[in-house]
Amino acid sequence: MQFKKVGVASDHAGQELRQMILDYLRSSGRETIDFGVDVRYDTAVDYPDYAALLAEAVLSGEINGAIAICGTGLGMAITGNKFRGIRACCIWDEYSSRMSRQHNNSNMLCLGSRTLNPYRAIDLVGIWLETSFSGERHQLRLDKIQEIEKRNFQPQ
Ligand code: RB5
């Protein structure tokens, strides 16, 4: 199982979908860590705080895959990609979910709770979890991303 321990986090907009995804992951026998947030329906939090928790957990090895949910998934992806070694992909259908693993070796899946039907979102999570990185020419492209990170990011 490539993603044995999966961390899940959301902002206020993604709370319900996060709970559904956690239930799905647990019922499929995966270890999970819930990074929150749990707030009242009228309380807003800032998505970068939750994307950062996930990114740091991936980089420390506490989890080996991350699922981040906000209204669109976009803010989570923007934040996740500020961390060296994180490949955060915002996906919207079966193809983008599969490609984010096969070609991009995504380690942070970003989903929009306001843009996706929740049952579809669960299917897309399943595809992401089960799809392997293809390597070969795609690894060469990831190596180039790593070179860009080296030039632009301070060492962590
Ligand atoms: C919150 O209203 C919303 O901006 C957030 O969930 C997310 O969509 C940001 O990218």
Q: How far is CA 14 from CA 32, 71, 82, 132, 139, in A?
A: 17, 6, 21, 26, 32
Q: Residue 41: its pLDDT value, please?
A: 86
Q: What is the mean pLDDT of residues 8-18?
A: 98
Q: What is the pTM of this model?
A: 0.97
Q: What is the pLDDT of residues 30-79, one digit of tens each?
A: 999 999 999 998 999 999 999 999 999 999 999 999 999 999 999 999 99
Angle at 3 between CA 66 and CA 127, to 5 degrees: 85
Q: How many domains does the chain have?
A: 1
Q: What is the mean pLDDT of residues 10-18?
A: 98
74 Cα: distance to centroid of ligand 1 (angstroms): 8
**CATH code, domain with 98:** 3.40.1400.10
Range of the domain at 62: 5-152
Confidence of residue 4 (pLDDT cuts 50, 70, 90): very high
Catalytic site includes residue 103? yes
Catalytic, out of 70, 89, 90, 110? 70
Confidence of residue 93 (pLDDT cuts 50, 70, 90): very high
Ligand 1 and 70: CB distance under 6 A: yes
